[in-house]
Amino acid sequence: MPELPEVETVRRRLGPVMEGARFERVILRRKGLRRPFARNFAGRLTSQTVCALERRGKYLLAGLSSGETLVMHLGMSGSFRIDLDTSQTPRGDDDVRHDHVVFRMSSGAVVTYNDPRRFGVMDLVARGKLAQHPAVGALGPEPLEPAFDGAALARACAGRRISLKVALLDQRVVAGLGNIYASEALHLAGLSPRRRASTIATPAGLPKPDAHRLAEAIKQVLREAIARASGRRYRSSRFRVYDRNGERCRTRRCKGTIRRFSQAGRSTFYCPDCQH
């Protein structure tokens, strides 16, 4: 599933063709994705201008001139294609049959949402109601914002008996972090994914040095990923530990071997020699 760096990359690609542009036509090729589209979804978008395209966690938020917000999530397999030359023929049946939503923008671009597994989400949220949205409203701090630091992370983990890795996957703890970059950050910070989350905080919820180190590691791995993200596929050569089971640890002077185990139904990769 795309995580914060991949979604941020998509936002940066869509921004130039959507921000400041109107929806001239909205084509829906099915009744919904993971959930049905909102009532009169296409009609409520048509003729509206995208005032700003932002990201919140793993969600894209398009603020509209109507005051509503178009909320979009890529799910497991969603992606956007931008066509500037609309005279070109479609790429082929395999692509077209998964093209579920088409936005014709006044910028001249055709933005097509493709999703083979249809786990994505598109929703319209009324003016002033975004904080009450069941998913977006519950998101924790943005990890790349100044407000996210060791103290914020410690407060969120204080008293929690679950493992540190599972805590990081909770979007209420930190928004946008997923399985890949949680493993990467824990390795960079030298912290075991098996550790209890509460161990990075004092009983009063104050940060221990590990909390500061982990918060900085989260920021670093996300910034590095954004800088190199293609948004198309994950390659294990990019990562410190993710998808590198059985390979040598890349930490300087460490002679450990990367191992894999399952946590909360997901694969965790770590080095038992340098993560404690």
92, two tokens? 């082929």
Among 83, 101, 89, 85, smallest CA distance to 33 is for 101
**What torsion do the CA atoms of 73, 78, 80, 81 make, to the nearest 10 degrees?**
-170
Q: Is 216 a catalytic residue?
A: no
d(CA 170, CA 242): 19
- Of the residues 11, 44, 56, 58, which is catalytic? 58
Among 178, 184, 167, smallest CA distance to 249 is for 184
* CB contact set of 93 (below 8 Å; sequence gap of 6+): none
Q: Is 228 a catalytic residue?
A: no
d(CA 269, CA 39): 43
The three-state secondary structure class of 175 is coil
Do 122 and 23 meet the contact criterion of CB atoms below 8 Å apart?
A: no
Q: Is 2 a catalytic residue?
A: yes
The three-state secondary structure class of 55 is strand
Among 57, 210, 228, 239, smallest CA distance to 143 is for 57
d(CA 205, CA 137): 24
Residue 49 sits at φ, ψ, to 5 deg, of: -100, 140
**Residues known to be catalytic:** 2-3, 58, 266
